[in-house]
């Protein structure tokens, strides 16, 4: 049984990559369940209702978010209505939206997806180790497998998080840096891990945004409005292969496909 | 002509990986010049004279550093005496040590190696874009190729730096996060790039340090003395292939080799 | 009824200022209860058992802490044994020590003292607004007045915290920056406030530490071991005046006294 | 001879405080030269041409800026045309605007005003110690006195900066935290110093902005558009008294005046 988890989708080019590359990938890898990070899906910042609908219509089962979750204020209107959309579980409890959900997938598996955010160089949220520990304890019985999108900056925090949950969850998959790492593996306890899934969006860019603008922002140290870049797109993800009987993760493999402009 | 550039060497296990894996790699890949980041080579923090000698004795041509450069105060005694050791060029001008050097390699090439540090989530140094721009302008004529170890945390800063210098230098190779990225490529202008070379040190660790200690530090949010982990070691690096006549970079390939405990 | 709250005591000079200036201040201002921040009391970093005993022997009723609470590891041996010592309440719940305590003072008042830490530019703790909100709700009935030492860096976070609790607690007193602010006042809801109490320690210093060392650290951007400065000492604090019957805060007044070397 | 230096002017209420309080202050204190920080003067963020003209029309001689200098993009249109406007000198050299200027004041004194920004918890600019050191060396001969607006967050950096320049400049006056500190004094070398001048704007606010919005931003950890608060205004500043013959600073005194709503 194969599950696909897709790195941060950035703007229109990211959605184009989803539209044009995802069907074939799902077919080639016999994907039964697809998760994608959508925190940059609407114009590079947050998520709108239209963009959410568009992504869900392309056979994505769950959308996860990150530090950009509230950038598009429209989300406050629909985040509590869509169970296929989750945001970092460690935002304060009075924030709208949910941090995890249990889905029914093919073969009757119960797949729990949890979204959490790191705190190093990121907003001051509740401790993701404690919050997710409580969630995992609560849902472990009713879930066949638990997949966590851990949205974080620092490699140390991501690795610590994965080792902390190793053996208790099926996978800890990093997002946020938009650069795919080459360290995918199944940890000693059986949890699949990668530091970062990478980015689904324009190739010739800096994290999906126009290079010249990002460079200007850095060398002038002044605020610059960043816009999504154009041109060729990429889709980056991992395929998790699970044993259907035991729901143990057998392998994790990186995918990086490019779509010419 | 192949050049090897090795990711942050961490402590004794990292040096063991160098000792036992490097000779065969240099032979297999016909390496004519070897660069390695040594900011964590002595006990995980900085560099001592003994450790420097040990590394240079293993056929490493240049040692680069990073934000841990001053962690072992011993370095102040020898940093100005060893031209094979460079530290980030954008430390204040009155700091000891040098930020680049031009070396003579096989086939008579003049290989300039520059070390610089990013500023996002790192010490407040001089602007690496401006400092390196001046260095590159100055040494471009007398160098056949220029290789930059850009020691930085944020993927945006690393990518911006690489695109800023694309076409003017042979390679921009990221270090510091200790996690190898899967984005190695030759940029449009001809500069080889990878966001992070990875780490040369203990495999079962968090960035080379003992997992339990890093986890304790994070979940208690209190200072914990981190020690280098034990067990199986890895060596992570890239091989840069250059055309001997033009000194243009033809390809960049990742290496990740493991040495059982 | 007057309560004295003293800003961060730094090292030996800070303790000297306590020893030589506090008795007269307590007498002059008819102080019935004294609170002092002790996070820098032992050599500028943390607290030892000896130093704690010394401070408590000088007629201080409660010692509060801050981000340096764990710097002297000795504290793990005694923090759970001394009810007159509190540390920021928003450290993770499994940390040793307590975040508040209710004391019996002269005239039979029940004085609750709460210690909390801000999160802006400081360790990633639990949300101080939520944690203290729960504490205040819990202890409000059994306390005649509640005094909070809010240990934080950013003026915006400190002011936000004070306004959030205005009317529910007797006083929110900032610590951590070691510079006394001139904004002491009783807020509209009746809560006494000051952004920072200041520092009790060596006058000719940078936050209590030797000037040359701090300057070296900044201009070289390298780690420098900071030592407590010498010479003339100061004691900085506020006097809170309460109506004995209603336990309402009537006034807050700054104190800054100097002791020649 | 008295010089007035005014803390960050925030929005319309700040300008109202200038308009209604400044004339009397200038008269009462026999002010011959007035400097004011204007980084928040236009709607709380940056400076527009209209607002600049308005402030200069109220008998202010020099406007300084800070980290918000580029927030209102309009400034790019006029920053190079107005010598009475300066921005932090340690922005990259290719940024528009100037970091200091020498003005002719009453009694024929040449008053140099320098603006610089700290780097702790602020944008990664050039080292303010080195940049200002060069400026001071260059202008020392042609200036009768040099006044520095050091716009910084951390008290340690501000104190280090002041001690670094003590004896070489007339005054180092901190801005940016919007909370006036109670540590004004003439340092041993003769330089007048205060950690922060405070804020000129709405009293019932958090740093000039609406309290509820700042609190919402913190407790939800999400982006909130902050607006300037309303109601009673304050003007905060210091008066520097200089000996006319020697141009030595004799005293520094805080001012904090309130204007009812
Ligand atoms: Fe993202
Ligand atoms: Fe993100
Ligand atoms: Fe490193
Ligand atoms: Fe590093
Ligand atoms: Fe302190
Ligand atoms: Fe502190
Ligand atoms: Fe300001
Ligand atoms: Fe500012």
Residue D30: its pLDDT value, please? 97
Cα A153 to middle of ligand 2, angstroms: 8
Which of D58, D68, D101, D163 is the catalytic position?
D68
Three-state helix/strand/coil letters over A60-106: CCEEECCCCCCCCHHHHHCCCCCCCECCCCCCCCCCCCCCEEEEECH
Does D221 contact A124 at a Cβ distance shorter than 8 Å? yes
Q: Which of C117, C118, C123, C124 to mutate to test the interface with A (most CBs of A within 10 A)?
A: C124
What percent of chain D is predicted at pLDDT more than 90?
95
| pTM above threshold 0.95 | yes
How many angstroms separate the CA atoms of D176 and D180, rounded?
10
Is B151 annotated to bind a ligand? Reply is yes
Q: What is the DSSP letter of C204?
A: S
Count of B-D CB contacts under 8 Å:
14
Cα D81 to middle of ligand 7, angstroms: 23
Q: Evaluate whether ipTM surpasses 0.90.
A: yes
How many angstroms separate the CA atoms of D100 and D87, rounded?
8
**Helices and strands per DSSP (H, E), number in chain D:** 5, 13
All chains having 3 or more CB pairs closer than 8 angstroms to chain C:
A, B, D
| Cβ-nearest to B127 among D92, D120, D130 | D92
Residue A45: its pLDDT value, please? 98
How many angstroms separate the CA atoms of A100 and C19, rounded?
56
All chains having 3 or more CB pairs closer than 8 angstroms to chain B:
A, C, D
Q: Angle at the Cα of B54 (from B169 to B108), degrees rounded to 5?
A: 35
How many angstroms separate the CA atoms of D251 and A72, rounded?
52
Residue C245: its pLDDT value, please? 87
Q: Which of B93, B121, B124, B156 to mutate to test the interface with D (most CBs of D within 10 A)?
A: B124
D126/chain B closest Cα distance in angstroms: 6
Instruction: Band the pLDDT of B260: cuts 50, 70, 90.
Output: confident
Strand order in the sheet with B192-194: B100-104, B110-117, B145-151, B171-175, B192-194, B185-186
Average pLDDT over residues B93-116: 93
Residue D180: its pLDDT value, please? 98
Is B58 annotated to bind a ligand? Reply is no
Question: Distance from CA of residue D66 to its chain's centroid?
Answer: 8
How many angstroms separate the CA atoms of C92 and C77, rounded?
18
Cα A38 to middle of ligand 1, angstroms: 8
Does B223 contact C70 at a Cβ distance shorter than 8 Å? yes
Which ligand is nearest to the Cα of residue B36, counting in written order?
A: 3
Which of C58, C68, C83, C163 is the catalytic position?
C68
pLDDT digits (tens, 9 = 90+) for B133-148: 999 999 999 999 999 9
Does D119 contact B124 at a Cβ distance shorter than 8 Å? yes
Strand partners, D104: D110
Binding residues of D: 8, 39-40, 67, 151, 176, 178
CB contacts of B123 in chain C (<8 Å) are 221-222
Phi/psi of residue A207, nearest 5 degrees: 60, 25
E-only strand ranges, A118-197? 145-151, 171-175, 185-186, 192-194
Pairing of strands C233-242, C199-202: antiparallel
Match 């003026």 to its residue by tokens. Answer: C155
How many angstroms separate the CA atoms of B165 and B170, rounded?
9
Q: Is C223 exposed, middle or buried (0-12, 13-18, 19+ CB in 10 A)?
A: middle
Average pLDDT over residues B143-157: 97
Residue A29: its pLDDT value, please? 98
Does C94 contact B222 at a Cβ distance shorter than 8 Å? no
Residue A247: its pLDDT value, please? 86
CB contacts of A116 in chain C (<8 Å) are none
Binding residues of A for Fe cation: 8, 39-40, 67, 151, 176, 178
CB contacts of A123 in chain D (<8 Å) are 221-222
Is C149 annotated to bind a ligand? Reply is no
Q: Is C232 exposed, middle or buried (0-12, 13-18, 19+ CB in 10 A)?
A: middle
Residue D118: its pLDDT value, please? 98
Average pLDDT over residues D65-90: 98
Neighbours of D216 (CB within 10 A): 15
Q: Is A227 exposed, middle or buried (0-12, 13-18, 19+ CB in 10 A)?
A: middle
H or E element: which one contains C162? helix C155-165
Does D91 contact A221 at a Cβ distance shorter than 8 Å? yes
pLDDT digits (tens, 9 = 90+) for D151-206: 999 999 999 999 999 999 999 999 999 999 999 999 999 999 999 999 999 999 99
Measured between CA atoms, the residue of chain A closest to residue B121 is A121
Q: Angle at the Cα of A53 (from A49 to A56), degrees rounded to 5?
A: 135
pLDDT digits (tens, 9 = 90+) for B30-89: 999 999 999 999 999 999 999 999 999 999 999 999 999 999 999 999 999 999 999 999
Residue D105: its pLDDT value, please? 80
Q: Is D236 exposed, middle or buried (0-12, 13-18, 19+ CB in 10 A)?
A: buried
B153/chain D closest Cα distance in angstroms: 14
Average pLDDT over residues D120-140: 98
Residue C232: its pLDDT value, please? 97
User: Is residue B106's pLDDT more than 80?
Assistant: no
Residues of chain A with pLDDT under 70: 107
Q: What is the DSSP letter of B25?
A: H
Q: Give CATH for domain A2-202+234-259.
A: 3.60.21.10
Average pLDDT over residues B166-184: 98
Residue A245: its pLDDT value, please? 87
CB contacts of A234 in chain B (<8 Å) are none
User: Is residue C136's pLDDT more than 80?
Assistant: yes
H or E element: which one contains D101? strand D100-104
Q: Which two tokens stand for residue A137?
A: 């304890």
Does C92 contact B219 at a Cβ distance shorter than 8 Å? yes
Are C39 and C10 within 8 A, CB to CB? no
CB contacts of A191 in chain B (<8 Å) are none
Instruction: Band the pLDDT of C116: cuts 50, 70, 90.
Output: very high
| Cβ-nearest to C119 among A120, A124, A130 | A124
Residue C260: its pLDDT value, please? 87
Three-state secondary structure call for residue B94: coil
User: Is residue C107's pLDDT more than 80?
Assistant: no
Residue B245: its pLDDT value, please? 87
Catalogue the active-site residues of A.
68
Residue B26: its pLDDT value, please? 98
Nearest to C111 by CA among C83, C150, C139, C81: C139
HSE-CB of B31 using CA atoms within 13 angstroms: 24
Among chain D, residues having any CB pair with chain A shorter than 8 Å are 69-71, 91-92, 94-95, 123-125, 219-223
Is B39 annotated to bind a ligand? Reply is yes
pLDDT digits (tens, 9 = 90+) for B108-119: 889 999 999 999
| Cβ-nearest to C92 among B124, B221, B223 | B221
Instruction: Band the pLDDT of D84: cuts 50, 70, 90.
Output: very high
Among chain D, residues having any CB pair with chain B shorter than 8 Å are 92, 119-120, 124, 126-127, 130
Pairing of strands B192-194, B185-186: antiparallel
pLDDT digits (tens, 9 = 90+) for C208-250: 999 999 999 999 999 999 999 999 999 999 999 999 888 899 9
């Amino acid at each position: 049984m194969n599950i696909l988890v897709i790195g941060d989708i950035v703007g229109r080019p990211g959605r184009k990559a989803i539209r044009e590359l995802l069907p074939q990938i799902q077919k080639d890898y016999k994907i039964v369940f697809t998760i994608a990070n959508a925190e940059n899906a609407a114009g590079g910042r947050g998520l709108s209702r239209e963009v959410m609908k568009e992504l869900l219509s392309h056979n994505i089962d769950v959308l996860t978010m990150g530090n950009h979750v509230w950038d598009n204020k429209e989300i406050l209107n629909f985040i509590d209505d869509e169970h296929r959309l989750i945001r970092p579980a460690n935002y304060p409890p009075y924030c709208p939206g949910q941090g995890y959900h249990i889905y029914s997938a093919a073969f009757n598996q119960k797949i729990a997806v949890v979204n959490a955010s790191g705190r190093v160089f990121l907003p001051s949220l509740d401790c993701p180790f404690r919050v997710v520990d409580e969630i995992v304890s609560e849902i472990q019985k009713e879930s066949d497998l638990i997949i966590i999108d851990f949205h974080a900056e620092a490699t140390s925090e991501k690795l610590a998080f994965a080792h902390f949950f190793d053996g208790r969850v099926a996978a800890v998959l990093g997002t946020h840096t938009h650069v795919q790492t080459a360290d995918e593996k199944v940890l000693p306890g059986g949890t699949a891990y990668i530091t970062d899934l990478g980015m689904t969006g324009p190739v010739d860019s800096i994290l999906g945004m126009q290079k010249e603008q990002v460079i200007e922002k850095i060398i002038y140290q002044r605020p610059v409005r960043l816009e999504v870049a154009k041109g060729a797109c990429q889709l980056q993800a991992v395929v998790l292969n699970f044993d259907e009987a035991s729901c143990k993760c057998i392998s994790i493999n990186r995918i990086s496909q490019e779509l010419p402009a």
